[in-house]
């Protein structure tokens, strides 16, 4: 296997694994956060505005990690510097 | 959607016109388009402002509702000085919201899908935090915050400040870019119904991300400039 094939193989595998594993943690975390938020709203309905706002801010922070994983995966697939270097230097 | 090919992930790579070192790419064009839309829309509404409740035009009512809602949100975070933070935080929210909303227009690529735009917005927040903090606490009070609760926390506080700015930029960029990419990929695979659904989801996440960006900017500024008593109360 020459280096171009290896780079392509490694990039695709890494991109798939990155987003597959990277989305598990945030999904579990967000589920627990929303569950806790719903329990709090049901306990104190008059605070529901504040709870909802805090919940959304917290969800955005949790989601960031999933977004990092997605951005890395996208970079590996679409803006991969190693691939571009290998392609531009691939001899006959 | 038809503006960018499958290989390009940001509107930075779509170049309309080039002259020497100066490149006019899609990000710049659409940023200025959004700015022109916002400015022209506001000017049209504020030409004939009325303060009574009789001759209130619908557009003025809409803008007043928006501004009132933003002031309420800001007051929820920093109860005392909502008006001083309204220009910055409100502008951030309006700009990002309109950028993300206009994706329904065909041939448009959201400028927030480019890391340049989101990084510059995050840098605005990064610069605003010390400005507001020094203005309300003085230089010693603001710099003393980095030594809380002990001097050993100084590198962690500085790193935390840098990383949360980076997180602001990447969160907005990742959300908008991923919405665009998924819609584009689905368009190539199953072009009938699913791209519309993903596009609608992209609109929803665009609005949520605009709100999150503004609220986080407000939280960072408020945490740097809150008076001592209030911070001890909350802690």
**What is the full DSSP assignment across B65-115?**
HHHHHHHHHHHHHSSS-HHHHHHHHHHHHHHHHHHHHGGGSTT---GGGSH
A78 and B215: CB-CB below 8 Å?
no
pLDDT greater than 50 at residue B229: no
What are the residue ranges spanned by the domains of chain A?
Answer: 3-86
Binned at pLDDT 50, 70 and 90, residue B232 comes out as very low
Binned at pLDDT 50, 70 and 90, residue B57 comes out as confident
What would the pLDDT profile of A5-52 be if each residue is shown by its tens digit?
999 999 999 999 999 999 999 999 999 999 999 999 999 999 898 898
- Which among A33, A25, A64 is positioned nearest to A51, based on CA atoms? A33
Class of CATH domain A3-86: mainly alpha
What is the reported pLDDT for B112? 93
**CA separation for the pair A48, A51 (Å, rounded):** 5
What are the residue ranges spanned by the domains of chain B?
Answer: 11-234
The ipTM assigned to this model is 0.76
Nearest CB to B181 within list A49, A57, A74: A74
Q: What is the pTM of this model?
A: 0.86
Most confident of A68-77, B19-28, B91-100, B104-113: B91-100
pLDDT greater than 60 at residue B1: no
Mean pLDDT across the stretch B146-153?
Answer: 86
CA A77, A81, A84, A85 dihedral sign is negative
**How does the average pLDDT of chain B come out, rounded?**
86
Most A CBs within 10 A among B167, B179, B182, B216, hence the mutation to make, goes to B167
A63 and B171: CB-CB below 8 Å?
yes
């Amino acid at each position: 296997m020459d280096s171009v094939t290896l780079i392509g193989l490694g990039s695709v595998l890494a991109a798939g694994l990155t987003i597959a594993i990277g989305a598990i943690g945030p999904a579990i975390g967000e589920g627990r956060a929303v569950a806790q938020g719903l329990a709090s709203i049901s306990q104190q309905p008059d605070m529901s505005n504040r709870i909802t706002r805090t919940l959304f801010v917290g969800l955005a922070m949790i989601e960031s990690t999933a977004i990092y994983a997605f951005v890395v995966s996208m970079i590996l697939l679409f803006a991969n510097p190693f691939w571009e270097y290998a392609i531009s230097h691939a001899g006959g | 959607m038809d503006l960018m090919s499958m290989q390009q992930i940001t509107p930075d790579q779509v170049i309309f016109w080039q002259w020497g070192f100066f490149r006019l790419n899609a990000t710049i064009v659409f940023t200025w388009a959004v700015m022109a839309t916002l400015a022209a829309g506001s000017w049209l509404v504020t030409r004939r402002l009325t303060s009574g409740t009789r001759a209130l035009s619908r557009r003025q009512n809409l803008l007043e509702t928006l501004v009132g809602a933003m002031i309420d949100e800001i007051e929820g975070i920093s109860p005392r000085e909502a008006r001083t933070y309204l220009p910055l935080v409100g502008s951030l929210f309006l700009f990002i919201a309109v950028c993300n909303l206009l994706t329904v227009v065909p041939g448009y690529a959201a400028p927030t899908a480019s890391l340049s735009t989101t990084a510059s917005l995050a840098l605005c927040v990064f610069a605003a935090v010390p400005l507001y903090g020094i203005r309300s606490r003085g230089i010693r009070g603001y710099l003393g915050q980095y030594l809380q609760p002990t001097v050993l926390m100084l590198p962690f506080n500085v790193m935390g400040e840098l990383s949360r700015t980076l997180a602001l930029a990447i969160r907005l960029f990742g959300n908008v870019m991923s919405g665009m990419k998924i819609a584009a990929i689905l368009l190539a695979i199953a072009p009938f119904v699913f791209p519309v659904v993903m596009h609608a989801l992209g609109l929803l996440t665009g609005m949520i991300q605009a709100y999150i960006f503004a609220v986080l900017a407000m939280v960072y500024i408020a945490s740097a400039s809150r008076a001592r008593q209030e911070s001890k109360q909350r802690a």
